[in-house]
Structure 1
Amino acid sequence: MSDDALLTRNDDGILRLTLNRPERMNALSEEMMACLKDALERAATDAAVRVVVLDAVPGKVFCAGHDLKELTAHRNDADRGRAYFEKIMTTCSALMQQIVALPKPVIAVVDGVATAAGCQLVATCDLALCTDTATFCTPGVNIGLFCSTPMVAVSRAANRKQAMEMLLTGESIDASTAKDFGLINRIVPKQYLDVVVTKYAQMIASKSPLTLKIGKEAFYQQIEMPLDQAYAHCVQVMTENMLARDAEEGIGAFLEKRKPEWTGE
């Protein structure tokens, strides 16, 4: 562990990335996004990492989205901040796509408020768990700045009308509503959070890393395709997957009633 913006720890294949700027509400500042980008790049090629867990230091806020003070400081630029604003939004969008493209599952763990781009971060992760006191919102409309980039992730995770409700009202929703909307997989009482998250991550980390990579990639590819194209694509994916050594081992182990030994091939 360190005192940097992002704390990192790898326990038995589970890489924990912990947002560590509570005094700035763990905002997605330039510093924080750069730290996340670097950590995810390393995780992508690190065979010792099977699953990534993204959480925040204990406190009231998981992530407050963009650092508005950092953005506002560029209002006095010659272009009124246009170039800087575009740079930040582009950097954040690239970070979200990096999470989707990462060949390892990413689990968001929320104990606190996830707002604006912080809510976008949760919606972008493959899975999300939260405590029963966590809240979520896209409140940009309240300050004259519609949450357009967070909308990309939220509208892909939640039902269309429910996403629009969040975006148009800017109101906070509780954990139960977030689960109903599709933003959250599971709600966990605070006192059991670490135990449940560890068990959840260990369950996924026990699978073949190659199979997880193939499956995650195929999921995001087919979800944007028409039905016939999605099936055609996944026929090819599954055929190639069947030829993998891990599939051969896994099916053999199942038939022989033994535990499989994954090689990642």
Structure 2
Amino acid sequence: MNSQDYYRLDRLANIKRNPNSAAFIGQKEQVDITNLNGFNMDDLNTVVPTHEGAGPLFRYFKPPMTVCYEEEEKLISIKYSINKRNGVSPRCDGRLEFQTLPVGSLPRLNITNDVPARTPADCAKKCFEAGGCSTAGFIASPSGNISNGVCLLTSDANVCGNNADYVPQHAALNPFVISCIKCSPCTYNIRTVTPDRVLPDFTHAESVTSIGECAQACYARRCTMAQYNSQQHSCSMTSEPLESKCAREVAVVTEGVLPVTLECVSCSS
């Protein structure tokens, strides 16, 4: 690392320590996350726009971000020891639901802050609880771990797609936009159904239009686990006692090819 690299690192550190500085304000303008070819990995293992002179500096350094993730994981572990719920805010009775939009829908995001997020649902929560945020961007970790990433909080207006599904969780390697965040009446933990998972016998099934509707049907029947199949719009349920506790949730596609299970379902009246 040469002296210029040290200067840039120190300059960014000073900006972070002094968020009211002119340099910081100049950086928190508009960031284009649609040009995936505009980002590369340099020898510091950072995400850097290839044409820094054409726009704001947008760097995520692995050492600081690693520390952030470690600290975030500690906080999450404490939280999960009390309540293993993902995407839940004290301002809602149930989980937050949101729409995901391709980055091309919003060419530039007016970034106000960037924070680590364990999942897209966690990012939606942080936006929902931040003042003035209704739209966020999520960028998965450069390591390829889709359950860790950077949440870009913005001041952009709320954008809702007419035909877009509301989801409580999502997963993608490419950046995407989280918008139209709203409360739902139920909380639950989601896991993908994989061939190696041993599942109970599902004795009852209903047609549903969303995973949230499946959660409500499960709660109404006092089921212990439900399986939601977005391809068949079906919700299968069981009332068998389960030995396992609420599993820790990771990023997962709820409207994909594979079904997902809902566990520890609870709904407000």
Q: TM above 0.5, one fold?
A: no
Instruction: Point out the structure with the larger strand share.
Output: 2
Q: TM-score range by the shorter chain?
A: under 0.3
- Tell me: higher relative CO, structure 1 or 2? Use CA pairs within 8 A at least 6 residues apart: 2
TM-score by length of 2: 0.24
Instruction: Point out the structure with the larger helix share.
Output: 1
TM-score by length of 1: 0.24
